């Protein structure tokens, strides 16, 4: 269920953030329509993919106007702002930072000039050769500070926008075809000049990107939910290694690289909305099947199965079905508590998860409870959930996780905790179980998770679980979220809690046992 601010889920503990996808992208070409409002509603449906900033650029065929700011889509835009973004083409973006700090100058779409008009560009994913792209700009100009780079933008998206200007070609289309083969990593790009909308997907197809049809035009978006929200029918996915162009001449498709699929399996586990469909497979059905498979692999004698809402619900449905145990709603989530800009007092901070989630005591009291969630990152959320269930009188608590242990960082567009903070990194199953306080703990196997997606193993990226990275990584000194920041900017961003390293959990969990202590 979509929350009132457009997000499917929020962090149950602010100090234990969920894995975050970098961005959602949306583009529309529709003469005669209010394209900025279509982009607004499309981004609203994609809000779960990025909640730090939002922006929309629109063109009337003569000029491009852009408005962007920090905040949720509903906070950034109002009626008057959208009415000022007139035209027949629009590009929209909602961001969570995986390259560059969370600051206004890094909001998208980015703007740049080219010999073939102004370009506005939004990007979902993460390039792995950003250092090389920056070096290419420095070699040509002796510096790396023109365009939005000169205005403080420190994202790989700004590098792409700047490099488009440098490419040979008689059109922006030709320039894109020259640049795209040189980009490495994960990228879904939606961009435009004054008259044409473009969309491109990296050869590995790491992140999803779909094409839809309106009665009066065309739409491209990260997920089908955005198409459904604006009344567009799904035509197909943009293929890995494909560039499409949309204008008054229709839709044109170009192949800039051969497809070598490595789709992100975590899209099926958690990132995408349940109503998404990726490579012909329903995300919801994949998650239900993960729950079924989890029950086949590890079933406990218990009285009820409950989910951690909302992302654990489909897997809990599947677990209950396969185990024969009754499904129950053991938690009630407050849909009106999300990100807050009011600093809580120490008393409220100690309440933590209770501000957002409450146990139904009469459902769990005296029961042996199986509680199903999609993943464990640091483990603090699960520890708080187990504690709440115990206080509510649950007799036993068996935690079941519908993905394997997360042990490795992602370099393709998901912001996990650092590897040192991942609870499954270097800890045994018994140690993790003791740390979260459960009577038992089980993860689905990697084979079981992959089988649930109905995708060939060779076409999926499982790096965060397996440590096997399908796209070559640069040396450690030439990668990282703050790669393009100056040293001072990087330090300031980290001190401000810029998204990649939220800091220790000790302030919230004053009475918790650290994992290091649990190992003793």
Segments in the chain below pLDDT 70: 1-22, 97-102, 144-146, 336-352, 417, 480-520
Domain covering 20-261: architecture: 4-Layer Sandwich (3.60)
pLDDT at residue 489, rounded to an integer: 43
Phi and psi torsions of 169, nearest 5°: 145, 155
pLDDT at residue 9, rounded to an integer: 47
pLDDT at residue 502, rounded to an integer: 27
pLDDT at residue 477, rounded to an integer: 79
Query: Which candidate in 23, 94, 188, 500 is catalytic?
Result: 23
CATH of domain 282-455: 3.40.50.2020
Check the annotation: does 132 bind a ligand: no
- Tens of pLDDT, residue by residue over 61-79, are 999 999 999 999 999 999 9
Check the annotation: does 188 bind a ligand: no
Check the annotation: does 311 bind a ligand: yes
Cα angle vertex 63, ends 58, 69, to 5°?
Answer: 45
Question: How many residues would you count in the chain?
Answer: 520
Q: How far apart are CA 113 and CA 218, in angstroms?
A: 25
On the question of a common fold for 20-261 and 282-455, the answer reads: no
What are the structural domain ranges in the chain?
Answer: 20-261, 282-455
pLDDT at residue 417, rounded to an integer: 67
pLDDT at residue 14, rounded to an integer: 54
Which residues neighbour 483 within 8 Å (Cβ) at sequence distance 6 or greater?
99, 130, 131
Three-class DSSP category at 140: helix
Peptide bond into 68 cis (omega under 30): no
94 catalytic? Reply is: no
pLDDT at residue 481, rounded to an integer: 56
pLDDT at residue 514, rounded to an integer: 36
Check the annotation: does 94 bind a ligand: no
- Tens of pLDDT, residue by residue over 176-221, are 999 999 999 999 999 999 999 999 999 999 999 999 999 999 999 9
Check the annotation: does 493 bind a ligand: no
């Amino acid at each position: 269920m979509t929350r009132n601010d457009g997000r499917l889920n929020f962090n149950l503990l602010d100090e234990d953030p969920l894995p975050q996808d970098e961005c959602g992208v949306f583009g529309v070409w529709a003469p005669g329509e209010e394209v900025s409002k279509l982009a607004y509603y499309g981004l609203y449906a994609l809000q779960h993919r990025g909640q730090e900033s939002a922006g929309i650029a629109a063109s009337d065929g003569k000029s491009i106007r852009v408005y962007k700011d920090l905040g949720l889509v509903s906070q950034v835009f109002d009626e008057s702002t959208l009415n000022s973004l007139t035209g027949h083409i629009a590009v929209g973006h909602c961001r969570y930072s995986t390259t560059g700090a969370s600051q206004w100058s890094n909001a998208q779409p980015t703007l740049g000039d080219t010999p073939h008009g102004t370009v506005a560009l939004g990007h979902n994913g993460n390039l792995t050769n950003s250092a090389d792209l920056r070096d290419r700009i420095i070699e040509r100009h002796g510096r790396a500070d023109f365009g939005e780079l000169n205005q403080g933008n420190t994202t790989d998206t700004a590098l792409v926008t700047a490099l488009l200007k440098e490419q040979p070609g008689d059109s922006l289309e030709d320039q894109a075809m020259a640049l795209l083969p040189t980009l490495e990593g994960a990228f879904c790009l939606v961009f435009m000049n004054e008259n044409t909308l473009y969309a491109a997907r990296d050869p590995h197809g790491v992140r999803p990107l779909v094409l839809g049809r309106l009665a009066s035009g065309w739409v491209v978006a990260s997920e089908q939910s955005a198409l459904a929200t604006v009344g567009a029918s799904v035509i197909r996915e943009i293929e890995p290694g494909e560039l499409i162009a949309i204008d008054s001449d229709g839709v044109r498709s170009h192949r800039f690289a051969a497809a070598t699929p490595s789709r992100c399996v975590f899209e099926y586990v958690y990132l995408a909305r349940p109503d998404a469909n990726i490579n012909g497979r329903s995300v919801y059905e994949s998650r239900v099947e993960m729950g079924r498979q989890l029950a086949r692999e590890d079933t406990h004698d218990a009285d009820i199965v409950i989910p951690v809402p909302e992302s654990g619900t489909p897997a809990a449905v599947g677990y209950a079905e396969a185990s024969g145990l009754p499904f129950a709603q053991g938690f009630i989530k407050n849909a009106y508590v999300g990100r807050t800009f009011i600093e809580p007092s120490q008393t409220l901070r100690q309440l933590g998860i209770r501000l957002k989630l409450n146990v139904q005591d009469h459902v769990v009291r005296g029961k042996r409870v199986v509680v199903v969630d999609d993943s464990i990152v640091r483990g603090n959320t699960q520890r708080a959930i187990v504690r709440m269930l115990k206080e509510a009188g649950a007799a036993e608590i068996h935690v079941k996780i519908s993905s394997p242990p997360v042990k490795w960082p992602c370099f393709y567009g998901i912001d996990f905790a650092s590897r040192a903070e991942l609870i499954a990194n270097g800890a045994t199953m018994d140690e993790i179980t003791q740390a979260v306080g459960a009577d038992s703990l089980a993860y689905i196997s990697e084979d079981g998770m992959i089988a649930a997606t109905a995708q060939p193993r060779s076409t999926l990226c499982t790096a965060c679980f397996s440590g096997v990275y399908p796209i070559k990584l640069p040396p450690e000194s030439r990668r990282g979220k703050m790669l393009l920041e100056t040293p001072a900017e990087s330090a300031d961003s980290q001190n401000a809690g810029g998204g990649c390293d939220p800091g220790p959990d000790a302030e919230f969990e004053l009475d918790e046992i650290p994992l290091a202590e649990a190992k003793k």
